Amino acid sequence: MKPARRQRPARPALSPQIAQLRARLAEAQETLRAIRSGEVDAVVVAGQGGPQVFTLQGADHAYRALIESMNEGALTLTADKVILYANQCFARMVKCPLEQVIGGSFRRFLSAEDQATLRPLLKRAAQFGSKIQVVLRALDGSQIPAQISIRPLAKNGFSRATIGMVVTDMTESRRNEEMLRALSHRLVQVQEAERGRVALELHDHVTQLLCAVLVRSQALADRLPARDGPSKREAMKLRQMLGQTAEAVERISRNLRPSVLDALGLGAVLRQTSTEFARRTGVSLDLACVQLTARLPADAELTLYRILQEALNNVEKHARARHVAVHFTQRGPFVQLVIHDDGIGFDPDHNPPKRKGTGGLGLLTMRERASYVGGTLKVKSLRRAGTEIKVRIPLPPQLPAEPVRAP
Protein backbone atom coordinates (compact mmCIF):
# COMPACT_ATOMS: atom_id res chain seq x y z
CA MET A 1 0.00 0.00 0.00
CA LYS A 2 1.49 3.37 -1.04
CA PRO A 3 0.13 6.35 0.98
CA ALA A 4 1.45 8.90 -1.59
CA ARG A 5 -1.26 7.74 -4.02
CA ARG A 6 -4.01 8.40 -1.52
CA GLN A 7 -2.66 11.92 -0.80
CA ARG A 8 -3.13 12.99 -4.46
CA PRO A 9 -6.73 12.12 -5.32
CA ALA A 10 -6.94 15.11 -7.71
CA ARG A 11 -4.76 13.40 -10.29
CA PRO A 12 -6.93 11.87 -13.06
CA ALA A 13 -7.06 8.07 -13.04
CA LEU A 14 -4.93 6.40 -15.73
CA SER A 15 -6.87 4.56 -18.36
CA PRO A 16 -6.39 0.78 -18.09
CA GLN A 17 -4.63 0.70 -21.51
CA ILE A 18 -2.00 3.24 -20.42
CA ALA A 19 -1.44 1.36 -17.17
CA GLN A 20 -1.00 -1.84 -19.12
CA LEU A 21 1.43 -0.19 -21.51
CA ARG A 22 3.46 1.21 -18.62
CA ALA A 23 3.64 -2.18 -16.99
CA ARG A 24 4.84 -3.80 -20.25
CA LEU A 25 7.43 -1.05 -20.75
CA ALA A 26 8.75 -1.59 -17.23
CA GLU A 27 8.87 -5.32 -17.87
CA ALA A 28 10.72 -4.82 -21.16
CA GLN A 29 13.22 -2.48 -19.49
CA GLU A 30 13.84 -5.00 -16.75
CA THR A 31 14.36 -7.81 -19.30
CA LEU A 32 16.85 -5.65 -21.23
CA ARG A 33 18.72 -4.82 -18.04
CA ALA A 34 18.89 -8.49 -17.14
CA ILE A 35 20.13 -9.43 -20.60
CA ARG A 36 22.80 -6.72 -20.52
CA SER A 37 24.04 -7.79 -17.12
CA GLY A 38 24.09 -11.43 -18.23
CA GLU A 39 21.63 -12.57 -15.57
CA VAL A 40 18.81 -13.33 -17.94
CA ASP A 41 16.72 -16.34 -17.11
CA ALA A 42 14.05 -15.83 -19.72
CA VAL A 43 13.92 -14.83 -23.34
CA VAL A 44 10.95 -13.80 -25.41
CA VAL A 45 11.17 -14.89 -29.01
CA ALA A 46 8.71 -13.84 -31.70
CA GLY A 47 7.17 -16.98 -33.15
CA GLN A 48 4.40 -17.77 -35.61
CA GLY A 49 1.76 -18.00 -32.88
CA GLY A 50 2.84 -14.75 -31.18
CA PRO A 51 5.71 -14.17 -28.72
CA GLN A 52 7.05 -17.24 -26.89
CA VAL A 53 8.77 -17.15 -23.52
CA PHE A 54 11.70 -19.47 -22.92
CA THR A 55 12.82 -19.85 -19.32
CA LEU A 56 15.77 -21.46 -17.63
CA GLN A 57 14.06 -23.55 -15.04
CA GLY A 58 15.97 -23.93 -11.81
CA ALA A 59 18.78 -21.73 -13.11
CA ASP A 60 21.89 -22.19 -11.08
CA HIS A 61 24.06 -19.12 -10.95
CA ALA A 62 27.16 -21.14 -10.09
CA TYR A 63 26.88 -22.86 -13.48
CA ARG A 64 26.23 -19.54 -15.15
CA ALA A 65 29.36 -18.09 -13.55
CA LEU A 66 31.34 -21.07 -14.81
CA ILE A 67 29.97 -20.71 -18.33
CA GLU A 68 30.57 -16.96 -18.33
CA SER A 69 34.20 -17.48 -17.31
CA MET A 70 34.88 -20.00 -20.10
CA ASN A 71 37.28 -19.20 -22.94
CA GLU A 72 34.87 -20.86 -25.34
CA GLY A 73 31.54 -19.62 -26.58
CA ALA A 74 28.58 -21.43 -25.05
CA LEU A 75 25.11 -21.34 -26.56
CA THR A 76 21.74 -22.96 -26.33
CA LEU A 77 19.47 -22.96 -29.34
CA THR A 78 15.93 -23.93 -30.23
CA ALA A 79 15.41 -26.53 -32.95
CA ASP A 80 15.14 -23.74 -35.54
CA LYS A 81 18.48 -22.30 -34.37
CA VAL A 82 17.21 -19.31 -32.40
CA ILE A 83 19.78 -18.43 -29.75
CA LEU A 84 18.21 -18.63 -26.31
CA TYR A 85 21.37 -18.17 -24.36
CA ALA A 86 24.90 -17.17 -25.23
CA ASN A 87 27.79 -16.29 -22.98
CA GLN A 88 29.85 -13.11 -23.26
CA CYS A 89 32.72 -15.01 -24.85
CA PHE A 90 30.60 -15.92 -27.88
CA ALA A 91 29.39 -12.31 -28.15
CA ARG A 92 33.01 -11.14 -28.14
CA MET A 93 33.95 -13.78 -30.72
CA VAL A 94 31.32 -12.60 -33.20
CA LYS A 95 31.84 -8.95 -32.20
CA CYS A 96 28.16 -8.47 -31.50
CA PRO A 97 26.51 -7.09 -28.33
CA LEU A 98 25.09 -9.91 -26.25
CA GLU A 99 21.60 -8.41 -26.30
CA GLN A 100 21.65 -8.64 -30.12
CA VAL A 101 22.97 -12.19 -30.08
CA ILE A 102 20.27 -13.56 -27.79
CA GLY A 103 16.93 -14.02 -29.47
CA GLY A 104 18.46 -13.88 -32.97
CA SER A 105 19.26 -16.72 -35.35
CA PHE A 106 22.54 -18.59 -35.09
CA ARG A 107 22.65 -18.79 -38.89
CA ARG A 108 23.56 -15.13 -39.21
CA PHE A 109 26.97 -15.96 -37.73
CA LEU A 110 27.69 -18.71 -40.25
CA SER A 111 29.38 -17.98 -43.55
CA ALA A 112 27.08 -18.40 -46.57
CA GLU A 113 28.88 -21.61 -47.54
CA ASP A 114 28.54 -23.15 -44.10
CA GLN A 115 24.88 -22.16 -43.86
CA ALA A 116 24.09 -24.37 -46.84
CA THR A 117 26.42 -27.27 -46.22
CA LEU A 118 25.94 -27.52 -42.48
CA ARG A 119 22.17 -27.44 -42.29
CA PRO A 120 21.77 -31.23 -42.55
CA LEU A 121 24.87 -31.69 -40.41
CA LEU A 122 23.44 -29.50 -37.65
CA LYS A 123 20.19 -31.44 -37.83
CA ARG A 124 21.98 -34.75 -37.43
CA ALA A 125 24.33 -33.38 -34.79
CA ALA A 126 21.35 -32.08 -32.83
CA GLN A 127 20.22 -35.67 -32.41
CA PHE A 128 23.47 -37.48 -31.79
CA GLY A 129 26.03 -34.78 -31.07
CA SER A 130 29.19 -34.12 -33.02
CA LYS A 131 32.07 -31.75 -33.66
CA ILE A 132 32.20 -29.72 -36.83
CA GLN A 133 34.55 -27.15 -38.32
CA VAL A 134 32.98 -23.95 -39.59
CA VAL A 135 33.88 -20.40 -40.46
CA LEU A 136 31.98 -17.93 -38.30
CA ARG A 137 31.09 -14.54 -39.69
CA ALA A 138 31.42 -11.76 -37.15
CA LEU A 139 29.28 -8.65 -37.21
CA ASP A 140 32.15 -6.57 -38.63
CA GLY A 141 32.50 -9.00 -41.57
CA SER A 142 35.65 -10.71 -40.27
CA GLN A 143 35.81 -14.51 -40.45
CA ILE A 144 36.73 -16.77 -37.58
CA PRO A 145 37.66 -20.42 -38.08
CA ALA A 146 35.87 -22.27 -35.32
CA GLN A 147 35.09 -25.71 -34.04
CA ILE A 148 31.56 -26.28 -32.86
CA SER A 149 30.78 -29.06 -30.50
CA ILE A 150 27.07 -29.79 -30.58
CA ARG A 151 25.06 -31.83 -28.13
CA PRO A 152 21.34 -32.38 -27.93
CA LEU A 153 20.17 -31.03 -24.55
CA ALA A 154 18.20 -32.89 -21.94
CA LYS A 155 14.68 -31.49 -21.86
CA ASN A 156 14.87 -30.46 -18.19
CA GLY A 157 17.27 -27.56 -18.82
CA PHE A 158 15.97 -24.62 -20.80
CA SER A 159 12.29 -25.35 -21.23
CA ARG A 160 12.46 -25.27 -25.08
CA ALA A 161 16.19 -25.45 -25.81
CA THR A 162 17.14 -28.49 -27.84
CA ILE A 163 20.76 -27.87 -28.79
CA GLY A 164 23.76 -26.99 -26.67
CA MET A 165 26.88 -25.69 -28.37
CA VAL A 166 30.44 -24.99 -27.35
CA VAL A 167 32.24 -22.83 -29.89
CA THR A 168 36.06 -22.80 -29.90
CA ASP A 169 37.91 -20.08 -31.74
CA MET A 170 40.51 -21.92 -33.87
CA THR A 171 42.34 -18.83 -35.16
CA GLU A 172 45.35 -19.37 -32.92
CA SER A 173 45.63 -23.11 -33.50
CA ARG A 174 45.20 -22.63 -37.29
CA ARG A 175 48.02 -20.08 -37.18
CA ASN A 176 50.19 -22.55 -35.28
CA GLU A 177 49.32 -25.31 -37.73
CA GLU A 178 50.26 -23.04 -40.62
CA MET A 179 53.56 -22.15 -38.96
CA LEU A 180 54.30 -25.83 -38.41
CA ARG A 181 53.49 -26.63 -42.02
CA ALA A 182 55.67 -23.78 -43.26
CA LEU A 183 58.47 -25.06 -41.05
CA SER A 184 58.16 -28.64 -42.26
CA HIS A 185 57.97 -27.40 -45.87
CA ARG A 186 61.17 -25.47 -45.29
CA LEU A 187 62.75 -28.58 -43.78
CA VAL A 188 61.88 -30.57 -46.89
CA GLN A 189 63.42 -27.85 -49.07
CA VAL A 190 66.59 -27.81 -46.99
CA GLN A 191 66.72 -31.61 -47.08
CA GLU A 192 66.34 -31.59 -50.88
CA ALA A 193 69.09 -29.00 -51.25
CA GLU A 194 71.37 -31.04 -49.01
CA ARG A 195 70.56 -34.25 -50.87
CA GLY A 196 71.38 -32.50 -54.15
CA ARG A 197 74.72 -31.33 -52.76
CA VAL A 198 75.65 -34.80 -51.46
CA ALA A 199 74.54 -36.40 -54.76
CA LEU A 200 76.75 -34.02 -56.69
CA GLU A 201 79.74 -34.67 -54.41
CA LEU A 202 79.25 -38.42 -54.76
CA HIS A 203 78.91 -38.20 -58.52
CA ASP A 204 81.69 -35.69 -59.14
CA HIS A 205 84.26 -37.11 -56.73
CA VAL A 206 83.60 -40.59 -55.39
CA THR A 207 82.15 -42.13 -58.59
CA GLN A 208 84.80 -40.50 -60.77
CA LEU A 209 87.58 -41.73 -58.50
CA LEU A 210 86.08 -45.20 -58.34
CA CYS A 211 85.94 -45.32 -62.13
CA ALA A 212 89.61 -44.34 -62.35
CA VAL A 213 90.55 -47.09 -59.85
CA LEU A 214 88.40 -49.50 -61.82
CA VAL A 215 90.29 -48.78 -65.04
CA ARG A 216 93.66 -49.20 -63.26
CA SER A 217 92.62 -52.48 -61.65
CA GLN A 218 91.54 -53.74 -65.08
CA ALA A 219 94.94 -52.72 -66.48
CA LEU A 220 96.65 -54.53 -63.59
CA ALA A 221 94.63 -57.68 -64.15
CA ASP A 222 95.46 -57.53 -67.87
CA ARG A 223 99.16 -57.15 -67.20
CA LEU A 224 99.45 -60.12 -64.86
CA PRO A 225 100.66 -63.16 -66.82
CA ALA A 226 98.28 -66.08 -67.20
CA ARG A 227 100.74 -68.36 -65.38
CA ASP A 228 100.30 -66.22 -62.22
CA GLY A 229 96.81 -67.71 -61.91
CA PRO A 230 95.83 -66.94 -58.26
CA SER A 231 97.05 -63.28 -58.45
CA LYS A 232 95.30 -62.73 -61.77
CA ARG A 233 92.06 -64.21 -60.39
CA GLU A 234 92.36 -61.97 -57.29
CA ALA A 235 92.91 -58.88 -59.50
CA MET A 236 89.87 -59.78 -61.62
CA LYS A 237 87.77 -60.20 -58.47
CA LEU A 238 88.98 -56.83 -57.18
CA ARG A 239 88.00 -55.21 -60.47
CA GLN A 240 84.55 -56.79 -60.29
CA MET A 241 83.97 -55.61 -56.70
CA LEU A 242 85.10 -52.12 -57.60
CA GLY A 243 82.59 -52.15 -60.45
CA GLN A 244 79.80 -53.13 -58.06
CA THR A 245 80.86 -50.41 -55.60
CA ALA A 246 80.85 -47.76 -58.33
CA GLU A 247 77.37 -48.91 -59.38
CA ALA A 248 76.07 -48.78 -55.79
CA VAL A 249 77.46 -45.29 -55.25
CA GLU A 250 75.94 -44.12 -58.51
CA ARG A 251 72.56 -45.58 -57.50
CA ILE A 252 72.71 -43.86 -54.10
CA SER A 253 73.62 -40.60 -55.77
CA ARG A 254 70.79 -40.98 -58.28
CA ASN A 255 68.26 -41.68 -55.51
CA LEU A 256 69.47 -38.66 -53.61
CA ARG A 257 68.88 -36.46 -56.63
CA PRO A 258 68.45 -37.93 -60.10
CA SER A 259 70.35 -35.72 -62.55
CA VAL A 260 68.08 -37.10 -65.27
CA LEU A 261 65.14 -35.30 -63.60
CA ASP A 262 66.76 -31.93 -64.17
CA ALA A 263 68.14 -32.85 -67.57
CA LEU A 264 65.38 -34.91 -69.20
CA GLY A 265 62.30 -34.29 -67.08
CA LEU A 266 59.70 -36.24 -65.18
CA GLY A 267 58.80 -38.83 -67.84
CA ALA A 268 62.42 -39.95 -68.12
CA VAL A 269 62.90 -40.25 -64.39
CA LEU A 270 59.61 -42.14 -63.91
CA ARG A 271 60.75 -44.61 -66.59
CA GLN A 272 64.24 -44.94 -65.11
CA THR A 273 62.92 -45.46 -61.56
CA SER A 274 60.33 -48.01 -62.71
CA THR A 275 62.79 -50.02 -64.80
CA GLU A 276 65.33 -50.09 -62.01
CA PHE A 277 62.67 -51.17 -59.49
CA ALA A 278 61.48 -54.06 -61.67
CA ARG A 279 65.07 -55.18 -62.36
CA ARG A 280 66.14 -55.04 -58.73
CA THR A 281 63.06 -56.59 -57.11
CA GLY A 282 61.79 -58.95 -59.81
CA VAL A 283 58.27 -57.48 -59.39
CA SER A 284 56.75 -56.75 -62.81
CA LEU A 285 55.83 -53.14 -63.40
CA ASP A 286 53.68 -51.49 -66.09
CA LEU A 287 54.20 -47.82 -66.67
CA ALA A 288 51.84 -45.61 -68.68
CA CYS A 289 53.01 -42.07 -68.94
CA VAL A 290 51.37 -39.11 -70.67
CA GLN A 291 53.62 -36.69 -72.51
CA LEU A 292 52.98 -33.13 -71.37
CA THR A 293 53.53 -30.23 -73.76
CA ALA A 294 55.61 -28.33 -71.27
CA ARG A 295 57.49 -29.27 -68.16
CA LEU A 296 55.84 -29.00 -64.77
CA PRO A 297 57.38 -26.64 -62.23
CA ALA A 298 60.54 -28.14 -60.71
CA ASP A 299 58.97 -28.63 -57.26
CA ALA A 300 55.96 -30.47 -58.75
CA GLU A 301 58.28 -32.79 -60.75
CA LEU A 302 60.39 -33.49 -57.70
CA THR A 303 57.27 -34.14 -55.59
CA LEU A 304 55.90 -36.69 -58.06
CA TYR A 305 59.27 -38.39 -58.33
CA ARG A 306 59.67 -38.58 -54.53
CA ILE A 307 56.14 -39.97 -54.14
CA LEU A 308 56.82 -42.69 -56.71
CA GLN A 309 60.11 -43.45 -54.99
CA GLU A 310 58.51 -43.81 -51.54
CA ALA A 311 55.50 -45.74 -52.89
CA LEU A 312 57.82 -48.24 -54.62
CA ASN A 313 59.91 -48.47 -51.44
CA ASN A 314 56.75 -49.43 -49.59
CA VAL A 315 55.82 -52.00 -52.22
CA GLU A 316 59.27 -53.54 -51.87
CA LYS A 317 59.27 -53.44 -48.08
CA HIS A 318 55.68 -54.31 -47.19
CA ALA A 319 53.41 -55.33 -50.06
CA ARG A 320 54.63 -58.78 -51.18
CA ALA A 321 53.21 -57.80 -54.56
CA ARG A 322 53.65 -59.60 -57.86
CA HIS A 323 52.64 -56.72 -60.05
CA VAL A 324 52.71 -52.94 -59.89
CA ALA A 325 51.00 -50.49 -62.26
CA VAL A 326 52.13 -46.87 -62.46
CA HIS A 327 49.93 -44.44 -64.40
CA PHE A 328 50.87 -40.83 -64.99
CA THR A 329 48.01 -39.00 -66.69
CA GLN A 330 46.49 -35.61 -67.15
CA ARG A 331 42.97 -35.09 -65.83
CA GLY A 332 41.68 -31.68 -66.92
CA PRO A 333 43.54 -29.09 -64.89
CA PHE A 334 45.46 -31.75 -62.89
CA VAL A 335 48.22 -34.24 -63.41
CA GLN A 336 47.63 -37.53 -61.68
CA LEU A 337 50.03 -40.25 -60.62
CA VAL A 338 48.59 -43.57 -59.49
CA ILE A 339 50.71 -46.39 -58.10
CA HIS A 340 48.77 -49.60 -57.68
CA ASP A 341 50.10 -52.88 -56.33
CA ASP A 342 48.42 -56.29 -55.97
CA GLY A 343 50.03 -57.02 -52.60
CA ILE A 344 48.76 -57.80 -49.11
CA GLY A 345 47.36 -54.30 -48.44
CA PHE A 346 46.80 -52.70 -45.05
CA ASP A 347 44.31 -50.61 -43.14
CA PRO A 348 45.26 -46.97 -43.83
CA ASP A 349 42.98 -45.70 -41.01
CA HIS A 350 44.61 -47.88 -38.41
CA ASN A 351 48.28 -47.69 -39.05
CA PRO A 352 50.32 -46.84 -35.97
CA PRO A 353 54.11 -46.81 -36.31
CA LYS A 354 55.55 -50.15 -35.26
CA ARG A 355 58.10 -48.86 -32.85
CA LYS A 356 58.16 -45.47 -31.18
CA GLY A 357 60.17 -42.98 -33.23
CA THR A 358 60.70 -45.34 -36.15
CA GLY A 359 58.84 -45.89 -39.37
CA GLY A 360 55.41 -44.64 -40.32
CA LEU A 361 56.66 -41.40 -41.84
CA GLY A 362 56.60 -42.40 -45.50
CA LEU A 363 52.87 -42.01 -46.12
CA LEU A 364 52.72 -38.86 -44.00
CA THR A 365 55.61 -37.27 -45.89
CA MET A 366 54.05 -38.19 -49.25
CA ARG A 367 50.83 -36.47 -48.22
CA GLU A 368 52.65 -33.40 -46.94
CA ARG A 369 54.77 -33.16 -50.08
CA ALA A 370 51.65 -33.28 -52.26
CA SER A 371 50.02 -30.51 -50.24
CA TYR A 372 53.11 -28.25 -50.52
CA VAL A 373 52.47 -28.04 -54.26
CA GLY A 374 48.71 -27.59 -53.84
CA GLY A 375 47.93 -31.26 -54.49
CA THR A 376 46.15 -34.06 -52.68
CA LEU A 377 47.08 -37.65 -51.97
CA LYS A 378 44.70 -40.51 -51.35
CA VAL A 379 45.57 -43.96 -50.09
CA LYS A 380 43.18 -46.81 -50.84
CA SER A 381 44.10 -50.13 -49.38
CA LEU A 382 42.40 -53.23 -48.12
CA ARG A 383 43.94 -56.22 -46.47
CA ARG A 384 44.77 -58.85 -49.10
CA ALA A 385 43.45 -56.57 -51.85
CA GLY A 386 46.45 -54.40 -52.69
CA THR A 387 47.17 -50.71 -52.30
CA GLU A 388 46.61 -47.68 -54.46
CA ILE A 389 48.30 -44.33 -53.96
CA LYS A 390 46.72 -41.54 -56.01
CA VAL A 391 48.25 -38.09 -56.11
CA ARG A 392 46.80 -35.11 -57.96
CA ILE A 393 48.62 -31.87 -58.55
CA PRO A 394 47.10 -28.83 -60.24
CA LEU A 395 48.68 -27.81 -63.53
CA PRO A 396 50.23 -24.38 -63.74
CA PRO A 397 48.04 -21.97 -65.77
CA GLN A 398 50.37 -21.90 -68.80
CA LEU A 399 49.88 -25.64 -69.49
CA PRO A 400 46.80 -26.56 -71.57
CA ALA A 401 44.08 -28.23 -69.55
CA GLU A 402 43.83 -31.25 -71.86
CA PRO A 403 46.46 -33.93 -72.47
CA VAL A 404 48.18 -33.57 -75.79
CA ARG A 405 49.12 -37.13 -76.66
CA ALA A 406 49.83 -40.40 -75.01
CA PRO A 407 53.21 -42.04 -75.67
Ligand X SMILES: Nc1ncnc2c1ncn2[C@@H]1O[C@H](COP(=O)(O)OP(=O)(O)O)[C@@H](O)[C@H]1O
When CB distances to ligand X are compared, the closest residue is 362
Q: What is the 3-state secondary structure (H, E, C) of the chain?
A: CCHHHHHCCCCCCCCHHHHHHHHHHHHHHHHHHHHHCCCCCEEEEEECCEEEEEEECCCCHHHHHHHHCCCCEEEEECCCCEEEEECHHHHHHCCCCHHHHCCCEHHHHECHHHHHHHHHHHHHHHHHCEEEEEEEECCCCCEEEEEEEEEECCCCCECCCCEEEEEEECHHHHHHHHHHHHHHHHHHHHHHHHHHHHHHHHHHHHHHHHHHHHHHHHHHHHHCCCCCHHHHHHHHHHHHHHHHHHHHHHHHHHHHCCHHHHHHCHHHHHHHHHHHHHHHHCCEEEEEECECCCCCCHHHHHHHHHHHHHHHHHHHHHHCCCEEEEEEEEECCEEEEEEEECCCCCCCCCCCCCECCECCCHHHHHHHHHHHCCCEEEEEECCCCCEEEEEEEECCCCCCCCCCECC
Under the binding rule (CB under 6 A), the answer on residue 346 touching ligand X is yes
> Can you tell me which of 361, 401, 404, 406 binds ligand X, judged by CB under 6 A?
361
Query: Least distance to ligand X from the beta carbon of 270, Å?
Result: 18
Stretch binding Mg ion (CB under 5 A), from 128-136, 251-259, 269-277, 314-322: 314-322
Which window, 98-106, 113-121, 221-229, 310-318, contacts Mg ion (CB under 5 A)?
A: 310-318
Stretch that binds ligand X, among 232-240, 246-254, 273-281, 343-351 (CB under 6 A): 343-351
Among 196, 333, 348, 362, binds Mg ion (CB under 5 A): 362
- Piece of the chain touching Mg ion by CB under 5 A; list 24-32, 94-102, 324-332, 359-367: 359-367
381 forms part of the interface with Mg ion (CB under 5 A): no
Interface map 316-355 toward Mg ion (x if CB under 5 A): ----------------------------------------
Position 380 contacts ligand X (CB under 6 A): no
Residue 378 sits in the site that holds ligand X (CB under 6 A): no
Binding Mg ion (rule: CB under 5 A), the pick from 78, 168, 314, 381 is 314
Of 23-31, 41-49, 264-272, 313-321, the segment contacting ligand X by CB under 6 A is 313-321
State the binding string over 43-82 for ligand X (x if CB under 6 A, else -): ----------------------------------------
In angstroms, give the least distance from the CB of 303 to ligand X: 16
By CB under 6 A, residue 376 contacts ligand X = no
* 360 scored as a contact of Mg ion (CB under 5 A): no
**Residues found near ligand X in the complex (CB under 6 A):** 314-315, 317-319, 341, 343-346, 351, 359-363, 387
**Residues found near Mg ion in the complex (CB under 5 A):** 314, 362
